[in-house]
Amino acid sequence: MEALGNVLGVETEKLLAYEDSELETDYQTAYLTNCRDQRFQANNSLWKELERLREKHVKVQYTVEEVIPPLREYIQRFNQQLSEFTSDLGFIRNKSSELKSLLEYNSTKLANVSPLVNDLIIPPNVINEAVHGKINQSWLDCIDFLKDKQEIYAKYQNSDDTAKPKDFDELCKVLEYLRVVVLERSRRFIIHQIKLLRSHQPVPSQQIQQRMMQVREIFQFIVKNNHSLALELRQAYAYSMRWYYKAYFSRYIRSLTILQFKTIDSQYALGNGLTNTSVNRSSAYGLSSYLSTNYGRSAGPVTDDSIQEYFQVDKRISLLTQEDNTVMVSQIAENNTMQNYIEVGFKNLNLAILDNCRVELTFLAKFFQIGDNEEEVKGIIEQIFQPTFAEALEYTKHLIQKTYDIFGILISIRVVQQLQFESQKHDLSAVGDFLSSQLMILWPKFQQLVDFQCESLRKVPITTTVAKIYGNPNHRDPLTTPHELTVQFSRFLTSFLKLATTHKEQIDERSEPLYNSITRLRNDFETVMTKCSKRVKSPERLLATNYMFLYNSIQHQHIHESDSEALPLIVRETEDHFKALVEAFSRVT
């Protein structure tokens, strides 16, 4: 048993157990059964292959019995559905052909209907915007839409009835309602902006005009659809601005009256401040700026130096030549502690009026579009600014009523002439008439002051006192040194001639009172000098010396000017006049 166990590779105990079992079974059956037992096999690969085949057999049998029958049923149902889908596809193909034919038919019909729909349709969003939208630049699209629809509807109304839809009359009513809504909202917007000018907290007119300019098309829509309403709105605007400018300039004029002006009284006359006519010789020599806060504040008579300084207007002429024409605001005027001459307040007021008239004209031309009718523009400007013009003229009368400032009057006249030139450039004829009224106030006052200066010249004591020659105080010969009145008159005369060169355009100088006034003053001065010359041994030499001084002063006035610029007539004639006198009296001596 051991040898057999070694051959078979089995333990002896297992063989013994096997022998015991064999006694109980059939040997053949036991043999076959044991042959199948893998424990007694020398090579088990075939049995393993057999097991795999059995497993595959089970799977195949499962597939055949469990999987294939449902798959067969699914394929059968799929074939049935495919047949149904094929039938449906044929139906769809037929329907598609039918719809295509119908679409082509409808396209042909709509080709004639679409333009009609596009022309007459009024979208709800447009109606909603017109009724509830905020009036701004985008709201103007409603006006443009309405204008286009009005033109289109007018064409359909004039066409045959066959070209109109059945509800065309209803659409016309809707369009009319939309027009009324836009017209009413435009009217309310303009009235609201005008009322802001009179509110308890007034809004600056520039802001209101800016808002209205952003939607200026609304007024043109009103003009086209309701001309009488447009005229009423324009009239309401004119009345409101009339009140607004009157209130504004009343406050501004009150501010200008607070300005401290240098007092020029009858002491500032030719011949005053000389050796034998001095009203106050106690002050030391010196020149103060006319804008100084202490200038001219003496409680008593003015000093000689103040009188001599007054006759020199070099600093004051800068008011006419400066490029910066910014208007002094009321807050500065009320808090300005410096002393000014009268032309400062006068120019600021009139320049402010001109600037506001120019702004108002621009707004009227762009918003109300009245720039084509000159008379209409002039009438509206006068209507708006008439109270302002009247108050400004009253201010001018009050400003110059008691003054003896002949240079301030003449500078103010030149300011008016410059503003007239600007008003002509901007076609402001109404402002031109107002400025002409200013001249009608200023020129008579100027003539009165010329009469006063001429009278002062005639009252100058006849002496031979000569001017003080700095650097050589002992040289006091009246035949070789100019008279002190000549020195004073040279300042006065050259100041007048300088103001004669401040024109911006050519004028007829002989028609100006200034031309004859200079001639009158010159003649009275020569009369005084002729009387003075009779007190010396050589009258002609004294006259030649004094007239030479005047001639040199006039030449020095324009020595730095360009030779290409023509001198004013009065300057040339005055220079030639004294040159002729110098030559005449020099030949005699």
- Lowest mean pLDDT of 21-25, 115-119, 584-588, name the range: 21-25
Q: Which of 407-411, 509-513, 537-541 has the lowest mean pLDDT?
A: 509-513
**pLDDT for the residue 167:** 77
**Ranges 316-325, 358-367, 389-398, 481-490: which has the least confidence:** 316-325
Under DSSP, the state recorded for 52 is: H
**Which of the four pLDDT bands, split at 50, 70 and 90, describes residue 87?**
confident
CA–CA distance, 477 with 479 (Å, rounded to integer): 5
Q: Which residues of 44-66 are buried (b: 16+ CB within 10 A; e: fewer)?
A: eeeeeeeeeeeeeeeeeeeeeee
Q: How distant, in Å, are the alpha carbons of 191, 350, 456, 499, 509 from that of 422?
A: 33, 12, 37, 19, 20
The alpha carbon torsion through 267, 270, 272, 276 (nearest 10 deg) reads: -160
- What is the spatial distance between Cα 490 and Cα 548, in angstroms, rounded to a whole number? 11
Q: How far is CA 214 from the centre of its chain?
A: 12
Question: CB-based contacts of 535: which residues, under 8 Å, 6+ apart?
Answer: 462, 463, 464
Residue 520 · residue 457 · CB < 8 Å: no
Give bridge partners of residue 483 from the DSSP assignment: 466
- For residue 524, pLDDT beyond 60: yes
- Give me the pLDDT at residue 20, please: 52
Residue 242 host element (H or E): helix 227-258
- Summarised one tens digit per residue, pLDDT across range 152-204 is 888 877 776 556 777 778 888 888 999 999 999 999 999 999 999 888 777 88
Please say if the pLDDT value at position 341 is more than 70. Answer: yes
* Residue 466 β-bridge partners: 483
CA-nearest of 444, 389, 404 to 261 is: 404
In one-letter notation, the amino acid at residue 458 is R
pLDDT of residue 528: 92
- pLDDT at position 276: 61
d(CA 517, CA 410): 12
Ranking 253-267, 459-473, 575-589 by mean pLDDT, the lowest is 459-473
Q: Please tell me whether residue 261 adopts helix, strand or coil conformation.
A: strand
Spatial neighbors of 377 by CB under 8 A, at least 6 apart, are 361, 364, 365, 370, 371, 427, 429, 430
Query: Residue 240: which pLDDT band, with cuts at 50, 70 and 90?
Result: very high
Whether the per-residue pLDDT at 67 is higher than 50: the answer is yes
Give the per-residue pLDDT at 65.
85
Split at pLDDT 50, 70, 90, the class of 386 is very high
Query: Once rounded to an integer, what is the mean pLDDT over residues 65-72?
Result: 87
Q: Judge contact between 183 and 221, C-beta under 8 A.
A: yes
Q: Are 238 and 383 in contact (CB under 8 A)?
A: yes
Q: Tell me what pLDDT residue 15 has.
A: 53
74 sits in which H/E element: helix 68-120
Alpha carbon distances (Å) from 368 to 112, 332, 361, 363, 364: 43, 35, 10, 8, 5
More confident residue, 328 or 34: 328
Answer with the residue of higher pLDDT: 495 or 119.
Answer: 495
Q: For residues 209 and 363, give the distance between their C-alpha atoms in angstroms, rounded to a whole number.
A: 7
Mean pLDDT score of the chain, rounded to an integer? 82
> Under a CB-based contact definition with an 8 Å cutoff, are residues 334 and 258 in contact?
yes
DSSP string for residues in 344-384? HHHHHHHHHHHHHHHHHHHHIIIII--TT-HHHHHHHHHHH
d(C-alpha 566, C-alpha 289), whole Å: 32
Going by their DSSP bridges, the two strands 339-340 and 260-261 should be labelled as parallel
For the record, the structure tokens of 482 come out as 């100019």
Using an 8 Å Cβ cutoff, are 551 and 489 in contact? no
Q: What is the pLDDT of residue 6?
A: 66
Residue 245 pLDDT greater than 90, yes or no: yes
Q: Are 270 and 460 in contact (CB under 8 A)?
A: yes
Q: DSSP readout, 97-123?
A: HHHHHHHHHHHHHHHHHHHHHHHH---
Question: How far is residue 121's CA from residue 131's CA, in Å, rounded to a whole number?
Answer: 17
What's residue 3's pLDDT? Answer: 67
Q: Which two structure tokens, joined as six digits, stand for 66?
A: 């469990």
Q: Give 158 or 582, the one with higher predicted confidence.
A: 582
Share of the chain above pLDDT 70, in %: 81
490, pLDDT greater than 50: yes
- pLDDT tens across 124-162, in order? 888 898 899 999 888 999 888 888 888 888 887 777 655
Predicted confidence band at 244 (pLDDT cuts at 50, 70, 90)? very high
pTM (two decimals): 0.74
| Position 17 pLDDT exceeds 80 | no
Weakest-pLDDT range from 150-164, 245-259, 302-316, 428-442? 150-164
Q: What is the pLDDT of residue 28?
A: 67
Is 250 or 326 the better-scoring residue by pLDDT? Answer: 250
**pLDDT tier at 231, thresholds 50, 70, 90:** very high
For residues 109-137, give the mean pLDDT: 80
Quick one: angle between helices 406-425 and 314-321, nearest 10? 10
d(CA 171, CA 398): 67
For residue 451, what pLDDT is reported?
95
Give me the helices (H) in 426-483, please. 429-458
Distance of CA 46 to CAs 28, 32, 33, 53, 58, Å?
Answer: 22, 16, 16, 11, 18
Q: Give the pair of three-digit tokens for residue 303.
A: 């000093």
Tokens 């630049």 locate to 137
